[in-house]
Structure 1
Amino acid sequence: MAVENLLAKAIGLGAALVLLRFAITFFASPNKSIPGPFLARFTDLWRFYDYWCCTQTSTHQTLHKKLGPAVRIGPNMVSLSDPELIKQVYSTRGDFLKSNFYEVADASSQGQRLENLFSTRSNVFHARHLRPYQKYFSMNNILAKQHLADNMMRTLCDQLERRFVDGANAGKTVDLADWIEFTAWDLDWEMTFSQDMGFLRTGTDVQGMIHTGEMIMRYLGCVGQIPWLDRLLGKNPYCPIKFATFEHAALYCVQRVMERAAARGTSSEKKDMGSGDFLDNFLDAKETHPDTVGDNEVVSYLMMNVLAGADTTAIVMKSIVWYILSSSRDRNDSDDSVKARLVAELDAANLSFPPKYEETRDLPYLNAVIREGMRMHPVISGILERVVPQGGPGLTLPDGRVIAPGTKVGLSAWVTSRNEDTFGPEPDKFNPDRWLQGPGESDDAFAARLRRMNGADMTFGAGNRICVGRNMANVEIHKVVSTLFSRYDIKLDDSRKQWSPRWWWFTFVDNIQVKLQRRPGVPEVKAR
């Protein structure tokens, strides 16, 4: 009986301490005047559950419509919606450091946490490790690798035509979402290692790498809302639950580094920057920055290249293709539909095969379609978290309210991309013309409007942490979209399930069921 009484007292004391902590959090918070869901004021479990249910994008949009430009979604987390704050929260100076959300993306080796360019919260670490790396992502260097991307475009078209266009397979329905995904992964591995990984050739998820990447993003989105959970789960070697890791991909990268380093050691030939693949580039970085770049850093660079780039670029390309097809279907593929206008522009450009980026980069309607597809379906489903600098005056909002130093803040692209003041009427509608100069619109008015839209564009992040691979992604997007719509007549198969987004931390897309026909005058293609 005494033990039971003691246990009851202990439970009661524990409950009292929890309630006391909640009360202190509620009454002592300097941000208690910021509105938000009731439970979110006390615990991050509220937003963990929101991510677990994959409802965070709609939740953020609904809360900002109801409660205004600043919403408290955690005891120390405020979501912002005003695009004018992007340049301050995500400044090139990096005054607002990344939050502890990103610690979940640290690697782990023998009980030690290993930062990388994505996960680090240190501007010093980021600048030091970015410096040897970023020059290889200049547009000139990416274009020097364009022949590697062309290899994959030939393979894509060869596989599509063999399986879904020619002979007995003519008219067969194809899930274009899958094939765009395979293309993105093969493209990145080809440009990184000069090696065909076989996603397209086999039409499968090679070694389950795509699925692994998706599960890791699922984990990051949920556990990142309560980062200390990662110490009990993913970073805990004794946790009975085993979570997805990139162990196989890391081993592959290590093996390629060893092989290439050995081959370079026996060769007197030195490749110019850009003439080789990214593995050559990163080994060059090791030679020129030996104090910063070792074998571990080379492997980290490679992992960032193939794992961070493939999924994100695939999501963007799927979204662009889906909105072209669905909006054109709604207009019965009329001459003024998005698809018809895009195809007419591509035809008039007399593109080579595969199309060169130099041939497509200045096509106004293609660029408008790409920008609008990115706006309609941002890759990141949640908030890019930053911390209001400690020791400063806080973050002053346009309405005069102040977010206290030390508060986690951030903006969601799914909120900013729907801002009517920035993007014009009907922001939920796919309309590439919003990126073009309108009839009767002066040059100055269009330039000002375009600046506002560009300033609110978070496709590749913003500030000092903007995506280093954006040039590579743009080349791939231009190449894939222009190839598909210049070579094929593509129509949605409405008898099949269509367009199934998954609102994980990345907004993955499944099911773009289409029928393909080679357009008149387009010759068959054979892979390399």
Structure 2
Amino acid sequence: MAVVNLVTTVSILGVFVLLAHQIFSYLRSPLRKLPGPRIAKFTNLWRLKTHYDRTHVETQIDLHAKYGDVVQLGPNVVSVANPNMIKTIYSTRGTFPKSEFYSVNDAMQPDGTIVENIFGTRNNEFHSRQIRPIQKMYSLQSAQKLEPVLDNTFDVLCRELERQFMDGKNEGKTCDIADWVLFFAWDFLGDVTFSQRFGFIEAGEDVGGMLDTAERVMRYFSVVGQIPTFDKLLAKNRYFPFKFPDFSGAAGFCVERFSERMQNFEAMKGNKDFLSGFLQVQQEYPSVTVHDVIGWLIINILGGADTTAIVMKALFYHILKSPYTKNTLVTELKAANLTYPPSYASLSGLPYLSACIKEGLRMHPVIGQIAERVVPLSSPGLTIPYPHPDSDTSVTLPPGTIVGMNPWVVHRQAATFGSRPDDFIPERWMQGYVAGEGVQEWEGRVKRMTAADMSFGNGNRTCLGRPLALVELYKLVATLFGKYEIELEDPNQEWELHKQWFVWPHKIRVQMRPH
């Protein structure tokens, strides 16, 4: 009995000490007067729960609608919605480093060693060292040189779509275009990276469950990243009995392709793919290791396939939900007298297509939560224009504060993007959307909207594959809407959104036939 009483007493004291610590930390916090959920001022568990429940996107949108440009999401976490702060928080110099949220993306080796990658690293020097040798391979000019590979994947995609949904007994069969866009994005990245598609298009399914695994990995990243310490107890714990989803399947595929290339180097050295380019870089930079090359291959696939597919799915959905938009787009494509697949050069000057793509990127950015950064410890803090109880002009976040901006919040600011920011309106990017608007006013308005664009990130961590992704977007939208009549099976049926670190669209069921 005495032992039980002692354990009970110690437990009560432990809870009391924990609560006292939380209260004391709150009273000392310079953030305590910021608006936000009261529980979020004491614990990150509230934030973790919203991500676990997949309600964080609408929750953060609603909080900013209620409280304004600055909202506290955790004891040391602040979300900012003012587009004017983008260039400061996400500077090209990387002044505000990534937070420990991104450590969840690190890889654990069999011996327990933790290895950072280009995406997740919090070390700007490491990031620059990894990016510098390969940066030229991701320019728009380089992306356009890859169009023959892209066109080959288009040929395979169109052939399979026609065979499975438009020919013979399959004519009128329902197609989930969300799945096929995803198959296309992964197969193209496989082809352009190591001259071998994954085989999703031909199979018409998720071969080996790789695509499902990719989404489940991002769910873990989204939830556990809210309290990164949990990751050390779970996925980064070699002794934890349960294995969490990881990218080992995709990584293994990349390692296999690398090994094949090295075994057949002479026969395959003429391949115009990223692997050949990376191996050439290795010759030019003696410091580049085999591990660096494999790391680039993995990031090329994992960083480019799902992200581009998500935007393409969303763009298709919003165009199909607006008959006027679809008809206007198809009319423009037909008037352009395109050959299919069309070249990017023949598409980039089409104003309505460009407006649709810009609006799609605005409406459905890939990332659905704040992109966390840390106010530099060496700085006096981050001053944000914002009225609050102590001042009617600004608030200053102290060094060490985790701060970030959610693209889904920023992209819905009416002051920047105009009226009806929750609606898909490509015309907002075109002159004449605002009545009586002259050329200078239109150019100024587009400049403000472009400056607030976070669809590919910003600053020194802007998505390296942005030019290639845009080439894919232009060509896919133009090819499928230009060649086929596409309609939603049920115009009243909403899609499914799996809200995680990425916001994944699913179930966009359509019927297709040739024009």
Quick one: distance in 2 between partners of 1:258 and 1:172? 41
* Percent of aligned pairs sharing the same letter: 47
Question: How far does the alpha carbon of each residue in 1:199-242 deviate from its partner, in whole angstroms, 9 at most, with x for none?
Answer: 00010111111011100100000000000110111111111221
TM-score scaled to structure 1, two decimals? Answer: 0.94
From 410, 422, 436, the counterpart of 1:416: 410
Matched, 1:312 2:312: no
- State the Cα distance separating 1:440 from its structure 2 match: 3.3
Quick one: distance in 2 between partners of 1:447 and 1:48? 41
Quick one: distance in 2 between partners of 1:184 and 1:426? 31
Residue 391 (structure 2) aligns with: none
**Partner AA of 2:499 in structure 1:** W
* SS of corresponding position for 2:179: helix
Residue 11 (structure 1) aligns with: 11
- State the Cα distance separating 1:496 from its structure 2 match: 8.5
Residue 202 (structure 1) aligns with: 203
From 503, 506, 512, the counterpart of 2:508: 512
Quick one: distance in 1 between partners of 2:63 and 2:146? 45
Quick one: distance in 1 between partners of 2:114 and 2:24? 32
Question: How far does the alpha carbon of each residue in 1:403-462 deviate from its partner, in whole angstroms, 9 at most, with x for none?
Answer: 111100000011001000000001011100001111632121111111110111100000
- Equivalent positions of 1:123-272 (< 5 A) are 123-264=124-265, 266=266
**Partner AA of 1:18 in structure 2:** L
Question: How far does the alpha carbon of each residue in 1:137-193 deviate from its partner, in whole angstroms, 9 at most, with x for none?
Answer: 011111111111111101111111111111111111111111111111111111111
- Equivalent positions of 1:46-445 (< 5 A) are 46-109=46-109, 110-264=111-265, 266=266, 276-291=272-287, 293-328=288-323, 337-399=324-386, 400-438=394-432, 440-445=436-441
Question: How far does the alpha carbon of each residue in 1:73-126 deviate from its partner, in whole angstroms, 9 at most, with x for none?
Answer: 100000111111111100101111100000000011121110111000011001
- State the Cα distance separating 1:363 from its structure 2 match: 0.9
Quick one: distance in 2 between partners of 1:428 and 1:496? 18
* SS of corresponding position for 1:255: helix
**Partner AA of 2:486 in structure 1:** I
- State the Cα distance separating 1:258 from its structure 2 match: 2.0
* SS of corresponding position for 1:98: coil
Contact 1:104 1:224 in 2 (8 A): yes
- State the Cα distance separating 1:270 from its structure 2 match: 6.5
Question: How far does the alpha carbon of each residue in 1:385-405 deviate from its partner, in whole angstroms, 9 at most, with x for none?
Answer: 000111312111113111111
Contact 1:498 1:513 in 2 (8 A): no
Contact 2:498 2:504 in 1 (8 A): yes
- State the Cα distance separating 1:40 from its structure 2 match: 0.5
Contact 1:496 1:513 in 2 (8 A): no
Question: How far does the alpha carbon of each residue in 1:454-491 deviate from its partner, in whole angstroms, 9 at most, with x for none?
Answer: 11110000000000000111111111100110000111
Residue 526 (structure 1) aligns with: none
TM-score scaled to structure 2, two decimals? Answer: 0.96
Residue 39 (structure 1) aligns with: 39
Quick one: distance in 1 between partners of 2:188 and 2:493? 27
**Partner AA of 1:406 in structure 2:** G
Question: How far does the alpha carbon of each residue in 1:346-372 deviate from its partner, in whole angstroms, 9 at most, with x for none?
Answer: 111111111111111111100100111
- State the Cα distance separating 1:196 from its structure 2 match: 2.3
Of 493-502 and 183-192, more deviation after overlay is shown by: 493-502
**Partner AA of 2:151 in structure 1:** D
Question: How far does the alpha carbon of each residue in 1:274-314 deviate from its partner, in whole angstroms, 9 at most, with x for none?
Answer: x71011111112111121x2111111111111112111111
Contact 2:193 2:297 in 1 (8 A): yes
Instruction: Count residues with an aligned counterpart.
Output: 505
Residue 522 (structure 1) aligns with: none
Q: Which runs of at least 4 in structure 1 moved beyond 3 Å after TM superposition?
A: 495-498
Runs of 5+ in structure 1 lacking a partner?
329-336, 520-528
Contact 1:78 1:410 in 2 (8 A): yes
Quick one: distance in 1 between partners of 2:492 and 2:513? 18
Residue 525 (structure 1) aligns with: none
Contact 1:381 1:414 in 2 (8 A): yes
* SS of corresponding position for 2:95: coil
**Partner AA of 2:97 in structure 1:** L
Contact 1:497 1:511 in 2 (8 A): no
Of 432-441 and 206-215, more deviation after overlay is shown by: 432-441
Residue 470 (structure 1) aligns with: 466
Quick one: distance in 2 between partners of 1:25 and 1:318? 44
Of 148-157 and 242-251, more deviation after overlay is shown by: 242-251
Quick one: distance in 2 between partners of 1:496 and 1:282? 47
Residue 446 (structure 1) aligns with: 442
Quick one: distance in 2 between partners of 1:452 and 1:320? 22
- State the Cα distance separating 1:262 from its structure 2 match: 3.2
**Partner AA of 2:469 in structure 1:** A
- Aligned-residue RMSD, C-alpha: 1.3
Question: How far does the alpha carbon of each residue in 1:308-342 deviate from its partner, in whole angstroms, 9 at most, with x for none?
Answer: 211111110011110111011xxxxxxxx111111
Tell me: CA distance 1:211–1:482, structure 2 relative to 1, closer, same or farther (3 Å): same
- State the Cα distance separating 1:497 from its structure 2 match: 4.7
